Structure 1
Amino acid sequence: MSKVEPFWVAGRPATGPTSVEVHHPWDGRLIATVAQPDPAQVDAGVAAAAVAADALSALPAHARAAALTHVSQRIAQRGEEIAALITAESGKPLTWARAEVARATSTFRWGAEEARRWSGQLQRLDTDPAGAGHVAVVRRFPRGPVLGITPFNFPLNLVAHKVAPALAVGTPIIIKPAPKTPLSSLLLGELLAETDLPEGSWSVLTVPNESMPDLVADPRLPVVSFTGSEAVGWAIRDAVPRKHVVLELGGNAAALVAADWSSAEDLRWAAQRIATFSNYQAGQSCIAVQRVYADRTVYDELLAEVAAAVERLHTGDPADEATEVGPLIDLAAAERVERWIGEAVDAGATVVVGGKRDGTTIAPTVLRDVPPDARVVREEVFGPVLVVEPVDGLDDGLARINDSAHGLQAGVFTRNVQVAFRAHRELEVGGVIVGDVPSYRADQMPYGGTKASGVGREGVRAAMEDLTAERVLVLTGVDL
């Protein structure tokens, strides 16, 4: 019998009575068998987090920073091994798995740096006569232990975005990874176990999804940070309205190519970026480019360039260094995307490139003439499908982007600073990327959405603020 990978309870490896198999999305072969905890082991992890809360909060900044620095360095040292693991469990092409490893390295490094800067502020209160001799010290303290629930598409870095901010502010965290991709988070547990963090500071509990509601409801975990599907995210918030819930949900990210972005060189570059980031991770990213609106004056040329760039993408075995687009996470996901493409075509859309399925792989697809009520426009495809449509000027383009239930990020290709600031003001999204696709993300910047795309913010510093609450200390009789 093959080895069963352990989970982590309060920083210690453990096995349970049940297990789950992890299969490679490309060819279905068995990658690993992972143990699952029983209710008593889950309770032990949560209880340990509650007990560790005070000790971890009181831990000096240098100690928290040292632990995060160690993890960052160890991820870098084991980078090729971790990248191969990401590829095996998620089907992500090796080139993108390496990029995820690099990002996770930076995420923990940022956590270490922010832990050292986490100081609060001094506020003088003698701005009015009644406040003479008074000064306020405003600091942020943890809301309490965190339940971090992570998805399959970034099995390492999205875990890092839960763990690094929590440990940086000194609050324990329970990680519940996606059942299809638990291996990266379990390896991260190995690295955390090498640190001197107090027992109970972290656990990685590979519970099945059907057991998640009990964890969500547990009063010892007053903060829930969830990244994943819209339906599950809002259900969590509805279930625990008195908890602090952070939701990073889906999107149908759009890019606008404005009339001034008109040179052949500019259009070729935009097309390459659009082609790459509508298909990276096989489109399984909440900010993958899904909708492109191009000013009618540049539409035909842009569409031709996008189609050519998409056709050049290499699809195949994600372990192949040449592969740029790999499989979807499983057959059900690929079949759903195939159905959505078919629905759009039946409603009048034209397939410019792709549109075919081979097992778990969807050929990178470009559609035009898509009805605005088609699911490939209205909902999150989460597959390598791109809709490219013309618009009549800036007003029309911004309105088309906003005509969505989602609002995570948007890209605006323009060199006009007035257009950039107008887009920033009017677009109902969490972030506007000027001169590039909406898929750009720096791990230190605030990241999150509006409308159905969630509440709260990730990005190390922003997440640290979300996981904490202000507490004011007023000193009196102070000679300022």
Structure 2
Amino acid sequence: MSKQKKSTARRGGLARSYPYYLAGRPVAANTDLEVLDKYTGKRATRVAFADAATVRKAIVAAHKARPAMAALPPDARRDVLEHCVKRFGERAEELALALCIEAGKPIGDAHGEVARLIDTFRIAAGEATRIEGEVIELQVSERTRGYRGMVKRVPIGACSFITPFNFPLNLVAHKVAPAIAAGCPFVLKPAAKTPVGALIIAEVLAETDLPKGAFSVIPCSNDDAAQLVEDERIALLSFTGGLVGWDLKARAGKKKVTLELGGNAACIVDAEPGADLDHVVERLVFGAYYQSGQSCISVQRIIAHADVYPALRRKLKAAVAKLRMGDPRDARTFVGPVIDEASAERIDEWIQQARKGGAKRLAGGERSGNMLPATLLENVPRDADVYRKEVFGPVACLESFDDFEDALARANDSDFGLQAGVFTARLSHAMRAWDALDVGGVVVGDVPSFRVDNMPYGGVRDSGLGREGVRSAIEDMTEPRLLVIRDPV
């Protein structure tokens, strides 16, 4: 690729300002969007903020780019994605620091997300040349003798993507990389609280030979983003975020819609967990508290068999109490800030409501601004918000069970259904969980927070519809086109 430019980042921090990208070109229209350092609360940088007219231009550009993107050969799409893999690797420290600052993500988690960004683009590069069709046997009766059928998959057209704050790189990657592999132009609205990572991705895309207008990355208001939902020139809307996604679906008209709307993940620890209890505790702590619990598949409900409950409770309480909270730049920090003080206040209110209802706090402490200590609650009332809703913070609820079927029923006692985890040594229980748990994915031998970027990922009920994971997303972003050929008479 011949357009490679020097990074915009300042040494030791973010650039003073970032443009948005309209039809593949950087536009420093203003510096209206202030991005805060989530730990210090101070301004970290400023970002150009698009208006309604700019959003409209981006949609028009993507719509016009449809033929050129569809005509881009698969090997050329692969080359674009491989260029991104190379450049993200070269800019890994910058990307991790951006996450640390704009999202308050502990630096260890930030490096992990950068690695997943690279993985997702690498997987998409491989899939770009494997979008295959099928030959269909049409000669099923005397009437159809001499007819042959074939199906290929073609790009669906212009796509709109709306992403949340908690994974500013990898949730963008899970929409952008499959779109490029499939040959779809797109318009992306990143979260206003964490736009920098997406704009660095756009800067790298601008170095490539993608057709004119093939992509736009435009931070904008939710009101102005309504066009991304409602405009009929958009063929597919992919939204990751809260339950407002159902309203977006209702307003989307005829376009295809995929939604990932969060979770309330349960993890069952059986009487024979199939692993050393110390390992189970280590994984539960990771699943519940990594990146301050701000993950759709964070472990929120721990349902442990009565035989292991006392030991698990003791070990888990001690492990949670030892978690270090503080500056996300410090490699020793495990729990950093949540995204803003309003979120921390909401989470704290839910904790206090649960305690008033009879829950016991085994670990945790007082909130300070948007810093909330890792909290472990026991015997939480099942009608409490912290039990029933998505907490999206460093909180887990612990309870015991006697019968495995009861544990499965409790795990299913939720409006959400994204992923669930099961620690068990019994194959029959593992298979029963796979059959009975009403979720998009069951993880046996680990926490529900486990995800590999090529696996189908998504949920049921209030957790959304459709699946991400590169190949699954490519399937959503392409349509089957049939060819029928009649043999010469």
Q: TM-score, normalised by structure 2?
A: 0.95
Counterpart of 1:39?
52
- Distance in 1, Cα, partners of 2:366 & 2:481: 56
The one-letter code sitting in structure 2 at the alignment partner of 1:226 is F
Q: How many angstroms does 1:102 deviate by?
A: 0.3
CA contact (8 A) 2:52 2:225 kept: no
Q: What is the correspondence of 1:184-203 to structure 2 with a 5 Å cutoff?
A: 184-203=197-216
Of 419, 423, 427, 2:437 maps to 427
- Distance in 1, Cα, partners of 2:63 & 2:401: 54
Q: Share of identical aligned residues, percent?
A: 48
CA contact (8 A) 1:126 1:132 kept: yes
Of 458, 462, 467, 1:448 maps to 458
- Deviation string, structure 1 residues 54-96 (Cα, Å, up to 9, x no partner): 1101110000010011111111111011100111100000100
- Distance in 1, Cα, partners of 2:101 & 2:314: 34
The answer to whether the aligner puts 1:363 opposite 2:376 as a matched pair is: no
The one-letter code sitting in structure 1 at the alignment partner of 2:444 is V
The answer to whether the aligner puts 1:22 opposite 2:28 as a matched pair is: no
Q: How many angstroms does 1:3 deviate by?
A: 4.0
- Distance in 1, Cα, partners of 2:207 & 2:47: 21
- Distance in 2, Cα, partners of 1:160 & 1:428: 27
Counterpart of 1:50?
63
Of 393, 405, 409, 2:403 maps to 393
- Deviation string, structure 1 residues 297-348 (Cα, Å, up to 9, x no partner): 1111111111122122211100001111110001111111110000000100
Q: How many angstroms does 1:476 deviate by?
A: 2.0
Q: How many angstroms does 1:161 deviate by?
A: 0.5
Segment of structure 1 superposing worse, 467-476 or 326-335 = 467-476
Counterpart of 2:235?
222
Of 341, 358, 378, 2:388 maps to 378
Segment of structure 1 superposing worse, 95-104 or 114-123 = 114-123
- Deviation string, structure 1 residues 352-411 (Cα, Å, up to 9, x no partner): 000421221110000001111011110000000000100121110000000000000000
In structure 2, the CA distance between the partners of 1:256 and 1:316, relative to structure 1 (3 Å rule), is same
Q: How many angstroms does 1:132 deviate by?
A: 2.9
- Distance in 2, Cα, partners of 1:287 & 1:460: 18
- Distance in 1, Cα, partners of 2:34 & 2:476: 35
CA contact (8 A) 2:272 2:426 kept: yes
Segments of structure 2 that go 5 or more residues without pairing to the other structure are 1-14
Q: How many angstroms does 1:40 deviate by?
A: 2.6
Counterpart of 2:178?
165
The one-letter code sitting in structure 1 at the alignment partner of 2:351 is I
Segment of structure 1 superposing worse, 292-301 or 40-49 = 40-49
The one-letter code sitting in structure 2 at the alignment partner of 1:257 is V
Of 288, 294, 299, 1:289 maps to 299
Q: How many angstroms does 1:143 deviate by?
A: 2.2
The answer to whether the aligner puts 1:11 opposite 2:40 as a matched pair is: no
- Distance in 2, Cα, partners of 1:340 & 1:38: 36
The answer to whether the aligner puts 1:120 opposite 2:130 as a matched pair is: no
Counterpart of 1:260?
272
CA contact (8 A) 2:56 2:227 kept: no
- Distance in 2, Cα, partners of 1:71 & 1:65: 10
Q: What is the correspondence of 1:60-71 to structure 2 with a 5 Å cutoff?
A: 60-71=73-84
In structure 2, the CA distance between the partners of 1:308 and 1:130, relative to structure 1 (3 Å rule), is farther
Counterpart of 1:477?
487
Of 401, 415, 427, 2:425 maps to 415
- Distance in 2, Cα, partners of 1:39 & 1:195: 27
- Distance in 1, Cα, partners of 2:126 & 2:142: 39
The answer to whether the aligner puts 1:312 opposite 2:322 as a matched pair is: yes
- Distance in 2, Cα, partners of 1:320 & 1:246: 37
- Distance in 1, Cα, partners of 2:486 & 2:208: 41
CA contact (8 A) 1:277 1:437 kept: yes
CA contact (8 A) 2:230 2:253 kept: no
- Distance in 1, Cα, partners of 2:405 & 2:253: 38
CA contact (8 A) 2:264 2:301 kept: yes
SS in 2 for 1:442: coil
Aligned residues: 475
Q: TM-score, normalised by structure 1?
A: 0.96
- Distance in 1, Cα, partners of 2:254 & 2:55: 22
- Distance in 1, Cα, partners of 2:46 & 2:307: 55
The answer to whether the aligner puts 1:93 opposite 2:93 as a matched pair is: no
SS in 2 for 1:209: coil
CA contact (8 A) 2:18 2:46 kept: yes
Q: Which has the higher helix share?
A: 1
- Deviation string, structure 1 residues 436-466 (Cα, Å, up to 9, x no partner): 0000000000000000000001000001111
The one-letter code sitting in structure 1 at the alignment partner of 2:166 is N
The answer to whether the aligner puts 1:179 opposite 2:159 as a matched pair is: no
The answer to whether the aligner puts 1:301 opposite 2:314 as a matched pair is: no
Q: How many angstroms does 1:19 deviate by?
A: 1.1
- Deviation string, structure 1 residues 267-318 (Cα, Å, up to 9, x no partner): 2111110011100110000000000101111111111111122122211100
CA contact (8 A) 1:37 1:207 kept: yes
Counterpart of 1:437?
447
- Distance in 2, Cα, partners of 1:4 & 1:80: 19
Cα RMSD (Å): 1.5
- Distance in 2, Cα, partners of 1:366 & 1:355: 10
Counterpart of 1:235?
247
SS in 2 for 1:180: coil
SS in 1 for 2:161: strand
- Distance in 2, Cα, partners of 1:133 & 1:108: 43
CA contact (8 A) 2:55 2:224 kept: no
SS in 2 for 1:358: coil
The one-letter code sitting in structure 1 at the alignment partner of 2:89 is A
Counterpart of 2:346?
336
The one-letter code sitting in structure 2 at the alignment partner of 1:121 is E
Segments of structure 1 that go 5 or more residues without pairing to the other structure are none
- Distance in 2, Cα, partners of 1:106 & 1:149: 21
CA contact (8 A) 1:155 1:182 kept: yes
